[in-house]
C-alpha cells in the first residue's frame, strides 16, 4: 500500500502483511486509524481503517469443500486352493 506523507509528500509503502496485522489489531481494540510514521520526516500519518481494508482485500469467507472421490475398489478374494500332492 502506497502512503504519501501529508507533510513532505514523501511516498513510501507499507507491506500487506503489516496492514493485515494492523487491521486485526485495530478491529480488536476498536480503533479506526493507523499511525504511520513517515520514514523521511517522522511525521505521523493517519491511515484510516477503510483505506487499509481497500488495500488488503479479504479472501471470501466461503470455504471450498473438496469432494472426496472414493474409488470403489472391489477386492477380489480368491480362495486359495491348496492341492495336496499325495506322495507315493
Ligand atoms: Zn514525511
Q: Please indicate, yes or no, if residue 28 is contained in any of the structural domains.
A: yes
d(CA 58, CA 16): 11
- Per the domain annotation, does 63 fall within a domain? no
From the CA of 2, how far away is ligand 1's center (Å)?
13
Domain assignment present for residue 84? The answer is no
Domain membership flag for residue 65? no
Phi-psi region of 62 (alpha: psi -120 to 50; beta: other; left: phi over 0): beta
> What's the structural domain count of the chain?
1
40 occurs within a structural domain: yes
Q: What is the CA radius of gyration of the chain?
A: 32
The answer to whether 33 and 47 are in contact (CB under 8 A) is yes
Is residue 6 domain-resident?
yes
Q: Which ranges in 1-88 belong to alpha helices (H)?
A: 16-29, 49-55
Residue 76's pLDDT band, with cuts at 50, 70 and 90, is low
Between the CA of 36 and the centroid of ligand 1 the distance, in Å, is: 10
What is the DSSP secondary structure assignment for residue 36, as one 8-state letter?
E
14 domain residue, yes or no: yes
* Residue-number span of the structural domain to which 32 is assigned: 2-55
User: How remote is the CA of residue 53 from the centroid of ligand 1, in Å?
Assistant: 23
Q: How far is the CA of 16 from the centre of ligand 1 (A)?
A: 20
Q: What is the pTM assigned to this prediction?
A: 0.59
Decide: helix, strand or coil at residue 52. Answer: helix
In tens, the pLDDT along 2-46 reads 999 999 999 999 999 999 999 999 999 999 999 999 999 999 999
For 53-69, the pLDDT digits (tens) are 998 876 666 555 555 55
Do the domain assignments include residue 82? no
Amino acid at each position: 500500500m502506497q502512503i504519501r506523507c501529508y507533510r513532505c509528500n514523501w511516498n513510501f509503502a507499507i507491506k500487506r502483511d503489516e496492514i493485515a496485522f494492523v487491521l486485526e489489531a485495530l478491529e480488536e481494540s476498536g480503533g479506526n486509524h493507523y499511525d504511520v510514521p513517515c520514514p523521511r520526516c517522522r511525521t505521523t500519518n493517519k491511515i484510516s481503517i477503510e483505506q487499509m481494508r481497500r488495500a488488503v482485500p479479504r479472501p471470501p469467507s466461503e470455504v471450498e469443500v473438496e469432494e472426496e472421490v472414493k474409488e470403489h475398489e472391489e477386492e477380489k478374494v480368491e480362495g486359495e486352493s491348496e492341492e495336496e500332492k499325495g506322495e507315493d
